[in-house]
Amino acid sequence: MVTIRADEISNIIRERIEQYNREVKIVNTGIVLQVGDGIARIHGLDEVMAGELVEFEEGTIGIALNLESNNVGVVLMGDGLMIQEGSSVKARGRIAQIPVSEAYLGRVVNALAKPIDGRGEISASESRLIESPAPGIISRRSVYEPLQTGLIAIDSMIPIGRGQRELIIGDRQTGKTAVATDTILNQQGQNVICVYVAIGQKASSVAQVVTTLQERGAMDYCIVVAETADSPATLQYLAPYTGAALAEYFMYRKQHTLTIYDDPSKQAQAYRQMSLLLRRPPGREAYPGDVFYLHSRLLERAAKLSSSFGEGSMTALPIVETQSGDVSAYIPTNVISITDGQIFLSGDLFNAGIRPAINVGISVSRVGSAAQIKAMKQVAGKLKLELAQFAELEAFAQFASDLDKATQNQLARGQRLRELLKQSQSAPLTVEDQIMTIYTGINGYLDSLEIEQVRKFLVELRTYVKSTKPQFQEILISTKIFTEEAEALLKEAIQEQMDRFLLQEQA
């Protein structure tokens, strides 16, 4: 007969109780009611947050955007072709965020900060919310440091400061992206981290920009966030916020950053597509009512931080494409009203061979000369005035047959000033070279030359000053003032170079 020993049984039961791992997991789940066109309707997910990430059974991630009484509208971050009606969905319990680190420099990533350049994973120990609040009033200070673009027309007449938002606006094929990439190239050695965000662009265009940056060694201080035209609308909508989050990481670490959004109107179109599919009521041009907030919450993240927050900065250059010069359309007017000025690129000027095709008359910078060094202020004021008078005279001269000598001289000077503003693509100039160029033009040294000779003379003059009068650049770099000594050196160099140039031309 088997004897039952109570102490053994109690020991076994006690051991089993101790081994029992009673871990209770509460998962917020739901069922897919309907899926299609990048949108899924979910029943359940009772405690989901607005903007929370949700995960479908087959691995696709989505964002809960519409929280309705009987279902949740989710936008998908993928094609969602494998999602089936009736399959389960679970809430992730967190808002969309991305990993951030110094290792992102030199890489091309998508809107989820995943590398797409085929160079392996990126290591990151920190993460940031894709959408984080903009710095408050107390944590900002006014913009006072220049962000040099390397383009004479901008740095002299429409200056951009670190922490400013300046819109680049114009028709297609007027050189908007070229202005932005030249600005990135000019940040070499300036300790500015650049983030280029391509939204809904052709993959070939993005590849071209990346190649230019790599060839010029600019990828060392640059991050490219790309969502091309074939990407899901959700990812095109998120890409600018990802770019801003990456730039913020560096801004809050006391560094200067430059973010280029190319272009927010494509983001607005992606957002319109999502909103209409989610059955949100359409407004003007079928955009949803909160399309202004879409861009304002993005561009307000650009700031110049105060000394108590480390003096970092984030400068934003959004690029908006207009249809046949119509700046009064919905998205252009929205972005103009959010930014601190705009650079208007004209198709007519571009076709006339004036490149960069900046229409100085209607371009403005609401920061103005606060974002210029003193030396630039000293020479740029007269340039603005002379070009404005020239534009007025040129319109008048079309109808007048006989012009007096003074008017003819002023027209000739204006044509030469317009010529000195022309620059080749990917050839930004240092601020010292710009000051030298402007001074030569406004003081009449170019008046004796033919218009075709102006650019050749200026290129040779810049080389001549660097080789024979290095003190000129040293004075400007150290004092940032166009001193009498610097002026005397420059006058001497211009005179010497003019004699050499005229001898060469005669020979």
Per-residue pLDDT band for 17 (boundaries 50, 70, 90) equals: confident
Same fold, 27-94 and 99-372: no
Give me the catalytic one of 14, 94, 253, 366: 366
Mean pLDDT (whole number) for 148-172 = 96
- Residue 30 assigned as binding residue: no
Q: Could you check whether the bond before residue 232 is cis, i.e. omega within 30 degrees of 0? A: no
Does pLDDT of 224 surpass 90?
Answer: yes
Per-residue pLDDT band for 207 (boundaries 50, 70, 90) equals: very high
- The domain segmentation of the chain, as residue ranges, is 27-94, 99-372, 376-506
Does pLDDT of 1 surpass 60?
Answer: no
**499: how many CB neighbours lie within 10 A of its CB?**
10
What's the pLDDT at 369?
86
What's the pLDDT at 2?
62
Size (the chain), residues: 507
Q: Which fold has domain 376-506?
A: Lysin (1.20.150)
Does pLDDT of 251 surpass 70?
Answer: yes
User: Which tokens go with 144?
Assistant: 């006072």
Contact status, residue 418 vs residue 354, Cβ threshold 8 Å:
yes
Does pLDDT of 361 surpass 90?
Answer: no
- Residue 174 assigned as binding residue: yes
Of 453, 369, 446, nearest in space to 413 by CA: 446
Mean pLDDT (whole number) for 185-205 = 97
Judge if pTM exceeds 0.75.
Answer: yes
Does pLDDT of 5 surpass 80?
Answer: no
Residues in contact with 29: Cβ distance below 8 Å, sequence separation at least 6, in sequence order: 44, 45, 88, 89, 90, 91
CA–CA separation, 115 vs 246, rounded Å? 13
Mean pLDDT (whole number) for 207-236 = 97
Residues 391-410: pLDDT tens digits?
888 888 877 667 888 888 89
Percent of the chain residues topping a pLDDT of 90: 86
- Residue 14 assigned as binding residue: no
**Mean pLDDT, the chain, whole residue set:** 93
CA–CA separation, 160 vs 370, rounded Å? 9
- Between these two residues, 155 and 21, which has the higher pLDDT value? 155
Contact status, residue 380 vs residue 151, Cβ threshold 8 Å:
no
Give the H or E element holding residue 422: none
CA–CA separation, 332 vs 270, rounded Å? 16
- Residue 437 assigned as binding residue: no
What's the pLDDT at 12?
85
- Residue 177 assigned as binding residue: yes
Q: Which CATH class is domain 99-372?
A: alpha beta
Percent of the chain residues topping a pLDDT of 70: 99
Mean pLDDT (whole number) for 42-58 = 94
Indicate if 301 belongs to the active site.
Answer: no
Contact status, residue 209 vs residue 117, Cβ threshold 8 Å:
no
Mean pLDDT (whole number) for 39-44 = 96
CA–CA separation, 441 vs 424, rounded Å? 18
What's the pLDDT at 317?
98
Of 392, 387, 395, nearest in space to 417 by CA: 387
- Residue 170 assigned as binding residue: yes
Mean pLDDT (whole number) for 299-318 = 97
Residues 71-125: pLDDT tens digits?
999 999 988 899 999 999 999 999 999 999 999 999 999 999 999 999 999 999 8
Instruction: Pick 27-94's CATH classification: 1.50.10.10, 3.20.20.150, 3.30.360.10, 2.40.30.20.
Output: 2.40.30.20
